[in-house]
Amino acid sequence: MPSIPDTADPRRDGTRRVGLFVTCLVDLFRPTVGFAAVKLLKHAGCVVEIPATQTCCGQPAYNSGARSEAQAIARQVVAAFDGFDWVVAPSGSCAGMLHRHYPDLLSDDAEWGPRAVALAGRARELMSFLVDVCGVTSVEASFRGIAAYHDSCSSLREMGVRDQPRELLTGISGLELREVPEAEACCGFGGSFSVKYGPISTDIVSRKTDALASVKPDMVVGGDLGCLMNIAGKMRRDGTGIAVRHAAELLADMTEDAAIGAPERAEV
């Protein structure tokens, strides 16, 4: 894999121009996470823009072996996010696609390959971006209760995200963060794997929800909506009563809406 330069290039006035990669799952299922990300980024002093030509990062095609389709989508994303100082996604998985896989995917492309490498150098996952790049050390948010953080595989292994979300979450007033056994284990989501190999995926997520429930949290938080929908769906089916939210919602103090997969308040 080609090396990815770190191309931090703040404006002369020190502001960072950030292109937010919303991700398809946030767009479709959890707009609150997008707004929470905007709020957090602005609060950290960034100028945030959301290119309208973005759709998805192409991971479903890439992971299905549809390489040429994934390449076409990658080129579209590269074009959409040209010119930003940083490209930030509220997802380790999508950020990992941009950061780790685009250079590989477009490596044979003389025109787009170098652009993909440049984009990769500017692509970050939201929480690690806030901590590592913006130097955010605390947030103005409160939540009374016990939270368990779920490490997504992409965040952990592709984007080096481990301590940053913990650092931010423990800064939320009233929140107690508990470590979960076998934290490095996958939740079994894996995109279309979760549907194509449903029984295996379901069995894997059972182990994950058991591990999460074992620390008796009020809420499970994480940085990747795919995992969170998987975990929330399993917990809801099992009736565990544990709320599941994207960490950005908590950090931005935007928890008025129902948790992921939970009934809307009026029905309660």
Partner 1 sequence: MQTSQAFRENAVRAIADDELRAALDKVRQGFGGARRQAAVDRLPEFEALRDAARDIKNHAIAFLDIYLERFEQRVVESGGVVHWCETPGEARDLVLRLCKEVDARTVTKGKTMIAEEIGLNPFLESHGIAPIETDLGEYIIQLADEPPSHIIAPAIHKTKDQVADLFHEHHQQYGKTQRLDDPGKLVDEARQVLRRKYIEADVGITGANFLVAETGSTVIVTNEGNGDLTQTLPKRHIVLATPEKIVPTLEDATTLLRVLARSATGQEFSVYTTFSTGPRRPDDLDGPEGFHVIILDNGRSRLVGSPFQDMLRCIKCGTCLFHCPVYASIGGHAYGSVYQGPMGAVLTPNLIGLPTTRHLPNASSLCGRCEAVCPVRIPIPRMLRHLREKGLGERLVPLRERWAVAAWAWIAQRPRVYRLWARFLVGVLRTIAGRSGRVRRLPLSRGWTGGRDFPAPQGETFMDLWRRAGRGKT
**Binding test (CB under 8 A) with partner 1, winner from 185, 211, 213, 215:** 185
> Residue 108 Cβ, how far from partner 1 at the closest point, in Å?
13
Residue 151 DSSP class:
P
Site for partner 1 in 72-111 (CB under 8 A): 72-73, 76, 104
User: What is the per-residue binding string for partner 1 in 8-37, x denoting contact by CB under 8 A?
Assistant: --------------x-x-xxxxxxx-xx--
| Residue 54 found at the interface with partner 1 (CB under 8 A) | yes
Asked whether the beta carbons of 62 and 105 are under 8 A apart, the reply is yes
Q: Pick the closer one to partner 1 by CB: 51 or 114.
A: 51
| Residue 5 found at the interface with partner 1 (CB under 8 A) | no
Asked whether the beta carbons of 141 and 251 are under 8 A apart, the reply is yes
- Who contacts 64 (Cβ-Cβ below 8 Å, separation ≥6)? 192
> Residue 79 Cβ, how far from partner 1 at the closest point, in Å?
11
Taking CB under 8 A as the binding criterion, the range among 42-50, 108-116, 164-172, 215-223 that sits at the site for partner 1 is: 42-50
Amino acid at 138: S
Question: Phi/psi of residue 88, each to 5°?
Answer: -120, 135
> Which long-range contacts link 231-236 to residues 24+ away (Cβ below 8 Å)?
231/150, 231/187, 231/205, 232/259, 232/260, 232/261, 232/262, 233/261, 234/202, 234/205, 234/206, 234/208, 234/209, 235/209, 235/261, 236/261, 236/262
Site for partner 1 in 146-175 (CB under 8 A): 153-154, 157-158
E strands, the chain, are 16-20, 46-49, 86-89, 123-125, 142-150, 173-178, 219-222, 243-246
> Residue 222 Cβ, how far from partner 1 at the closest point, in Å?
13
| Residue 237 found at the interface with partner 1 (CB under 8 A) | yes
Instruction: Give which of 210, 157, 163, 203 is closest to 184, Cα–Cα.
Output: 157
| Residue 145 found at the interface with partner 1 (CB under 8 A) | no
Cβ neighbours around 12 below 10 Å, total: 5
Instruction: Give which of 226, 46, 246, 47 is closest to 130, Cα–Cα.
Output: 46
User: What is the per-residue binding string for partner 1 in 110-139, x denoting contact by CB under 8 A?
Assistant: ------------------------------
Q: Pick the closer one to partner 1 by CB: 45 or 171.
A: 45
| Residue 203 found at the interface with partner 1 (CB under 8 A) | yes
**Binding test (CB under 8 A) with partner 1, winner from 3, 6, 12, 53:** 53
| Residue 229 found at the interface with partner 1 (CB under 8 A) | yes
Number of residues that bind partner 1 (CB under 8 A): 80
Q: Pick the closer one to partner 1 by CB: 54 or 128.
A: 54
